[in-house]
Amino acid sequence: MNKKIINKKIAAVFLCMCMIAVTGSFPVSAAKTKKTYKIAIDAGHQAKGNSKTEPIGPGAKKRKAKVASGTQGVKTKVPESKLTLQIALKLEKELKKRGYKVYMIRRKQNVNISNKQRAIRANKSGADICIRLHADAAGSKVRGASVLYPSKKNRYVGKLSNKSKKLSKNILDSYCRSTKFKKRGLSKRDDLTGTNWSKIPVALIEMGFMTNKTEDKQMQTKKMQKKMVDGIANGIDQYFK
């Protein structure tokens, strides 16, 4: 064997032994030690609702519409399904820039995917968490953002409550900090089909009130949508720290 090759091998072995002495283990590349998280994004609703029913959870007798039609902007007339898709597509780009993998439940308006199917798709995607994007409706003066998560008493996904609550809090805090929207708080909800069929931590964010003229108009501006996306992404970053 060539003497230079032997010397190189001896040097390599010596270097490895030195690293073991210092660290107590063999060197491992950063790429193998850092987990790449996958985020499922569900843009709430679709172009047309589906009034046919499905069970709200595994084995449930109670049933709800497969997909509600959603609300629309009181000023802009933009449907909720369009707003949620706008934010979902922008959030996908932002999360990918931050190194996440992303699974999109839908990329267009003209789909027919029930809430149960959405949860099942997210489960099968291998995602670590699911973010459900929605917008709210109430009186014209009501404003702000809230996040919904399952309670510990939820018969279907109670075991996901703690992680879902943490995710929800992280998102709500950073979202309201970014957008300056009123923080309406966290809400326990056990009647949401898209949550009850989930097998991963899940948070449903009500991003703002489309029945409030000011918030409705704000949520259709590029500047505010950037803040909305950054706020959600920052909350996801915080969750995985």
Sign of the dihedral through C-alpha 129, 135, 139, 145 = positive
- Are 129 and 168 found together in one domain? yes
Q: State whether 45 and 113 are in the same domain.
A: yes
Q: Are 163 and 229 in the same domain?
A: yes
Same domain membership, residue 223 and residue 104: yes
What pLDDT sits at residue 34? 54
Q: How many Å apart are CA 144 and CA 218, to the nearest integer?
A: 12
**Are 219 and 228 contacting, i.e. CB atoms less than 8 angstroms apart?**
yes
| 16 in the same domain as 106 | no
What is the pLDDT at residue 131?
99
CA–CA distance, 233 with 181 (Å, rounded to integer): 16
* Residue 53 and residue 25 share a domain: no
Structure tokens given for 136: 């709210």
Q: Residue 219: give its domain's CATH number.
A: 3.40.630.40
Residues 2 and 46 in one domain: no
- pLDDT reported for residue 182: 99
Same domain membership, residue 157 and residue 140: yes
The reported pTM is 0.86
Note whether 135 and 172 are within 8 A (CB): no
Residue 141 φ/ψ, nearest 5 degrees: -95, -10
> Which of 217, 223, 70, 52 is CA-nearest to residue 132?
70
Per-residue pLDDT of the chain (241 residues; tens, 9 = 90+): 444 444 555 555 454 454 444 444 444 333 334 589 999 999 999 999 999 999 999 999 999 999 999 999 999 999 999 999 999 999 999 999 999 999 999 999 999 999 999 999 999 999 999 999 999 999 999 999 999 999 999 999 999 999 999 999 999 999 999 999 999 999 999 999 999 999 999 999 999 999 999 999 999 999 999 999 999 999 999 999 9
* pLDDT at residue number 200: 99
pLDDT score of 166: 99
Chain CA centroid to CA 174, Å: 13
**Together in a domain, 19 and 68:** no
Q: What pLDDT shows up at residue 11?
A: 52
Q: Are residues 156 and 230 in the same domain?
A: yes
Q: How many domains does the chain have?
A: 2
Give the C-alpha separation, 166 to 202, whole Å. Answer: 10
Full strand arrangement of the beta sheet holding 202-209: 101-104, 38-43, 129-136, 202-209, 145-149, 183-188
Beta strands in the chain (DSSP E): 38-43, 50-55, 63-67, 101-104, 129-136, 145-149, 183-188, 202-209
Neighbouring C-beta atoms of residue 53, cutoff 10 Å: 13
Range of the domain at 19: 1-29
pLDDT of residue 25: 41
Domain identity same for 124 and 22: no
With 0-12 / 13-18 / 19 or more C-beta atoms within 10 angstroms meaning exposed / middle / buried, residue 12 is exposed
pLDDT of residue 218: 99
State whether 41 and 4 are in the same domain. no
Which residue in 78, 122, 114 sits closest to 219, CA to CA? 78
Distance, CA of 57 to CA of 62 (rounded, Å): 8
pLDDT at 5: 45
What pLDDT was estimated at residue 35? 84
